[in-house]
Amino acid sequence: MRAGENDDLSKPSQTITADEEGRRLDIFVAQRLPGISRTRIGRLIREGGILVNGETTKPSYWVELGDRIELHLPPPPGEQVLPEPIEFGIIYEDDSFAVIDKPAGLIVHCTETMVSGTLVNGLLYRMKSLSTVGGPMRRGIVHRLDRDTSGVMVIAKTDEAHIDLMKKFERRKIKKQYVALVHGTAFGERKEIDLPVTRSPHNRKLMTARSGEGRPSFTVVEPLERFDAVTLVKVSPATGRTHQIRVHLSAVGHPVVADKQYGGRSMQRRPTFGMKRQALHAARLGFEHPSTGEWVEFEAPLPEDMQAALAALRHGSA
């Protein structure tokens, strides 16, 4: 089959024909198998679990148009992902997809060491059908929000919708808008941040923005409301790198309020306005409906903790 066709990409053995070129093999496969980490994919490539044109190669191999990529995936871990009554809001639902409001503190999907208490467990409990493209630990998951970021997410209910939405994210056809409370007030009407994002050399769990290093990343920031020491901003990321918004805002000197990872050394001395987690909320998501092609937009209301922080700021009691 050709990459991107409506087949179950989580099958243990299959062959896909590359319909694009100019990407590393590990990245090419990772984008089509979101249920498996890039590290694990690299190991499978080196061990012969992923072949190109019948031969073993390296993760850094550059895919060429027409390459036949054979996937021989190991069986999933023995742990079973079970339905659980997890709290989250449902904004919209039809036969193709659902749109949900993820609360802060909720991890999106299971891992090999965590198979309980995630959004996926809650989705299995509340929805009759979910896509299987990402494998059993990421049923329905097309994209992610950080654990302590709240807001709107789209969930695929069919494999066809999952692949369609995944392509839209890859091709930047998804409109994403966030709201954040950030330190500092030095904003004009619009600020464009064009800095590559890459893994931190000091902590592989974190990201960093370095000129000339990493993947191209672009974020637009617009002020919504100014206070004495902080600003409420609308953030529109054109790309979707890990921690991109938080990394970009920190890099230009305006870290998100209460961001423990990217707030910098002075974070502990800065006010948090009652926030126990980073003041970042995915407010709006827009895209063409996978089945009808109609443009649709969905909005998640500002959560109570951010509303309380803003109320305190407006009344001068923060």
- Residue 214 contacts residue 224 (beta carbons within 8 Å): no
pLDDT of residue 124: 97
pLDDT of residue 77: 52
pTM: 0.77
pLDDT (mean) for 77-91? 86
pLDDT (mean) for 263-273? 84
Residue among 283, 274, 282, 271 at smallest CA distance from 306: 274
pLDDT (mean) for 57-62? 90
- pLDDT for residue 166 is more than 70: yes
- Residue 247 contacts residue 263 (beta carbons within 8 Å): no
Looking at every residue in the chain, the average pLDDT score rounds to 88
- Residue 81 contacts residue 115 (beta carbons within 8 Å): yes
pLDDT of residue 192: 95
Residue 13 banded pLDDT, cuts 50, 70, 90: low
Tens of pLDDT, residues 106-137: 999 987 667 889 999 999 999 999 999 888 88
Tokens of 156: 């695929």
Active site members: 146
Tens of pLDDT, residues 280-316: 999 999 999 999 999 999 999 999 999 999 999 998 8
Determine the Cα–Cα distance for residues 289 and 271; give it in Å rounded to an integer. 42
pLDDT of residue 3: 44
Domains detected in the chain: 13-72 (3.10.290.10), 77-170 (3.30.2350.10), 176-282+306-314 (3.30.2350.10)
Burial of 246 (0-12, 13-18, 19+ CB in 10 A): buried
Determine the Cα–Cα distance for residues 244 and 218; give it in Å rounded to an integer. 9
pLDDT of residue 205: 82
- pLDDT for residue 147 is more than 50: yes
Give the CA angle between residues 152, 238, 240 to the nearest 5°.
Answer: 65
Tens of pLDDT, residues 200-247: 888 878 999 976 778 999 999 999 999 999 999 999 999 999 999 999
Residue 266 banded pLDDT, cuts 50, 70, 90: confident
* pLDDT top residue among 29 and 114: 29
Q: Do strands 280-288 and 150-156 pair parallel, antiparallel, or not at all (unpaired)?
A: parallel
- pLDDT for residue 57 is more than 70: yes
pLDDT of residue 79: 56
What is the CA 245 to chain-centroid distance, rounded?
A: 11
pLDDT of residue 87: 97
Residue 318 banded pLDDT, cuts 50, 70, 90: low
**Torsion 114-117-144-202 (CA) sign:** negative
Determine the Cα–Cα distance for residues 163 and 156; give it in Å rounded to an integer. 9
Q: 17-31, 138-152, 183-197: lowest mean pLDDT where?
A: 17-31
DSSP-derived letter for residue 246 is H
pLDDT of residue 228: 92
Q: What percent of the chain has pLDDT over 70?
A: 91
**Torsion 235-276-301-163 (CA) sign:** positive
Beta strand spans in the chain (E): 13-17, 50-52, 68-72, 89-93, 97-102, 150-156, 175-183, 191-194, 197-199, 207-209, 218-226, 230-237, 280-288, 295-299
Tokens of 153: 């997410």
Residue among 125, 121, 119, 83 at smallest CA distance from 104: 119
In order of 190, 216, 259, 278, the CA distances from 223 in angstroms are 7, 24, 19, 18
pLDDT of residue 296: 98
pLDDT (mean) for 19-39? 81
In order of 136, 144, 267, 295, the CA distances from 92 in angstroms are 23, 18, 37, 14
Query: Locate tokens 């370095």: which residue?
Result: 210
Q: 67-71, 82-86, 273-277, 306-310: lowest mean pLDDT where?
A: 67-71
Residue among 303, 307, 254 at smallest CA distance from 281: 303
* pLDDT top residue among 207 and 317: 207
Determine the Cα–Cα distance for residues 126 and 98; give it in Å rounded to an integer. 11
- pLDDT for residue 2 is more than 60: no
